[in-house]
Amino acid sequence: MNGRSGLMTFFLFFFLILLIFLQYLQMVQSDRLYNRLNELAVSLERSGGDRAFQAGGDSESEVASRQKHPGDDGDWLIWRVGIEPSTLNPIHTSSDVPTRWITSGNIFETLLEYDPDELTLRPLLAESYEVSDDGLEIIYKIRQDAEFSDGQPVTADDVVFTFDTIMNPKINAASLASYFQDVEKAVKLEERKVKFVMSRVYFKSVEMTGGMPILPKHVYEFDDPQDFNRNISNPVGSGPYVFDRWDVGRQVVLRRNNDYWGKLPNLRQMVYRFILNDTAALQALRSGQADFMRPLPEQFTELSENERFNEDFKCLSYWTPSAGYFYIAWNQDRPFFADKRVRQAMTLMLDRESICRDLLRSPDAVVPTGPFYIHGDQKNPDIEPWEYNIEKAAKLLDEAGWVDTTGDGIRDKDGIPFRFRYMIVSGTSLHDQMARLVKDQAAQLGIDVQIEPYEWSIFIERLQNRQFDATNLAWQGAVEADPYQIWHSSQIGGGGSNYVGFDHPEADSLIEKARKTMDRQERNAIYHEFHSIIHEEQPYTFVYTRPEQRFLHRRFHNVKRYELGIDPHEWYVPKELQRYD
């Protein structure tokens, strides 16, 4: 009895231990399952709903891309953008700098591109190109492997469609079309061969025909031009990234095109986050809500010398032809600014050296004398900036007939008080500071300035419709600029960019002559004459130009500086430093 009881006790004890062990295994398995599900949920949340993640793992194309293009793969670049774009259609007249940042080279590609160091054109979507001896025909052969993100091949039909769309007078593309006015037609020769026929030679003919953002005809084809004009989102191109979504007022998200025909970038997503306030943008950078931003000049000057800040962020400063210039524009249709003596006075009243030194607090900022890159050959090296001279400014205003006849402290002429509206982009501290400086300086001369801030979309509409007295803004530069779009009188109104109404027959003649002068040295001599006219007429007050400056989180590696700037497509984040799956 005792023996059987002992044996029974043993089996009961063994069975109990077995039950506990099985229960433990079940708990461990449940925990593992819970952890796996939790990891997957976090991954999906971070990916913003990326379809590859929703499929339950890496797609075959992603795995193949890592094998074909080794390196640290993944993570996102969150790029602070100070203004929400008006459109993601790259040929729209309303396309702006944010449009180009988001779409150019990411979604849309061109037949040719610039070598970033040599600044010479090289094939991209094109396999090769040739120019006839007389310069009137350019033939491009398109790569056999080039295709759009939906898998359709890039063909001559797409190139012809893009050109014809730009030149269609019912399409809102006038600012871009001005560069193609000497192109007679684009002709399909073969499925992947296209020819551009010029009506006359143009020194930028290869750059412009090879530099069009190629649109897929099967996606953008239209019967009603207004349908195309209204198409401002959901862009489709051939680039290494595809459009994911536009959260209006917050961000645009691009996903890597894992079926891209060329070399894949390592970064999985590009997020363009709209943060209008510059102080808030810097806070977002420091808190990890942004990785990359263009700071205010004073922010860069202060923080580039901050040892603690430099531990976390790269402070990049580099000159590039795209640096451009900041300017104040005087609308010559207004009675205040029709006389060049008044425009000269407006320039003379501003201490631009002090603006660079005290307002920007940027030792690298320079006062430009005209619209050309200060380190380029197009600029006339013999021209010096207008001096700061309040007394001379007052004398010029007197000579132009603007004097205080009523004793109220405001100059007037023909019964019109010198009281003008200064239009700026709201919420942009640098623009606001510049406008207030102009207001204060003008008051010393008996001029009343009324500052009018507008939200960006309204601002750009008023600018294009020339509904302003004065404004400030900036133009980006180019490797070799053609001033036609901004300065030729034909570009006043009608979608052109001659917003100030600059109408000078001699300047027009020089612009036209330069366009058909193929010898670079001779062309630059013409531009030196043009530069002299701009300097004398002062349609803009050229306030400053400065190096491109950026803050970038240090987890991004392989950040190289070229003559053309920097290229995020080359960047990667080591696995151990990645933030986003």
**Residue 277's CATH number:** 3.40.190.10
How much is the pLDDT for 527? 98
Q: Which residues pair with 473 in a beta bridge?
A: 327
Q: Are residues 335 and 282 in the same domain?
A: no
In a domain, residue 232? The reply is no
> Does 17 reside within a domain?
no
Q: At what angle do helices 520-537 and 505-515 cross, to 10 degrees?
A: 160
- The pTM of the full predicted model, rounded to 2 decimals, is 0.80
- The CATH number of the domain holding residue 464 is 3.10.105.10
Res 55: pLDDT? 28
Same domain (yes/no): 206, 84 = no
Q: Under a CB-based contact definition with an 8 Å cutoff, are residues 194 and 139 in contact?
A: yes
Strand partners, 581: none
Check whether residue 447 and residue 361 sit in a common domain.
yes
Does the residue 231 lie in any domain?
Answer: no
Q: Transcribe 138-181 into DSSP letters.
A: EEEEE-TT-B-TTSPBP-HHHHHHHHHHHH-TTSS-HHHHGGGT
Of the three residues 168, 188, 220, the one that is the final residue of a domain is 220
Kindly state whether residues 209 and 249 are assigned to the same domain: no
For residue 84, how far is the Cα from the chain centroid? Answer: 11
Give, in degrees to the nearest 5, the angle at Cα 290 between 284 and 296: 70
Question: How far, in Å, CA of 535 to CA of 367, rounded?
Answer: 13
Establish if 39 belongs to a structural domain: no
Q: What is the pLDDT of residue 71?
A: 57
417 part of a folded domain: yes
391 in the same domain as 253: no
Which one, of 284, 538, 264, lies nearest residue 393 by Cα?
538
Find the helix or strand (DSSP H, E) in which 130 lies. strand 126-131
Looking at the structure, do residues 248 and 393 belong to the same domain, yes or no? no
Residues 404 and 509 in one domain: yes
Which residue from 530, 533, 529, 580 is spatially nearest to 553, judged by alpha carbons?
580
Q: Domain residues for 83?
A: 59-91+99-106+239-320+549-581
The verdict on 273 and 175 lying in the same domain is no
Of the residues 220, 249, 270, which one is the last residue of a structural domain? Answer: 220
> Do 430 and 331 have their domain in common?
yes
Q: Provide the pLDDT for residue 23.
A: 41
From the number of C-beta atoms within 10 Å of its C-beta (0-12, 13-18, 19+), residue 170 rates as exposed
Q: What is the pLDDT of residue 33?
A: 32
Distance CA 155, CA 148 (A): 10
Provide the domain count of the chain.
3
pLDDT tens-place values along the chain, 581 residues long: 444 444 344 344 444 443 433 343 343 333 333 333 333 333 333 333 332 322 233 444 444 444 444 558 899 999 999 989 999 999 998 888 889 999 999 999 999 999 999 999 999 999 999 999 999 999 999 999 999 999 999 999 999 999 999 999 999 998 899 889 999 999 999 999 999 999 999 999 999 999 999 999 999 999 999 999 999 999 999 999 999 999 999 999 999 999 999 999 999 999 999 999 999 999 999 999 999 999 998 899 999 999 999 999 999 999 999 899 999 999 999 999 999 999 999 999 999 999 998 888 888 899 999 999 999 999 999 999 999 999 999 999 999 999 999 999 999 999 999 999 999 999 888 889 999 999 999 999 999 999 999 998 899 999 999 999 999 999 989 899 999 999 999 999 887 899 999 999 999 999 999 999 999 999 999 999 999 999 999 999 999 999 999 999 999 999 999 999 999 999 999 999 999 97
Q: Are residues 213 and 335 in the same domain?
A: no
- What's the pLDDT score for residue 18? 39
Q: Are 66 and 73 in contact (CB under 8 A)?
A: yes
Residue 253 lies in a domain: yes
Residues 528 and 473 in one domain: yes
Q: Is residue 181 part of a domain?
A: yes
Residue 1 belongs to a domain: no
Report the C-alpha gap between 551 and 508 in whole angstroms: 41
139/265 same-domain check = no
Strands 419-425, 470-475: pairing is: parallel
Strand partners for 540:
329
Residues whose CB is less than 8 angstroms from the CB of residue 580 and which lie 6 or more positions away in sequence, other chains included? 46, 47, 74, 75, 76, 268, 269
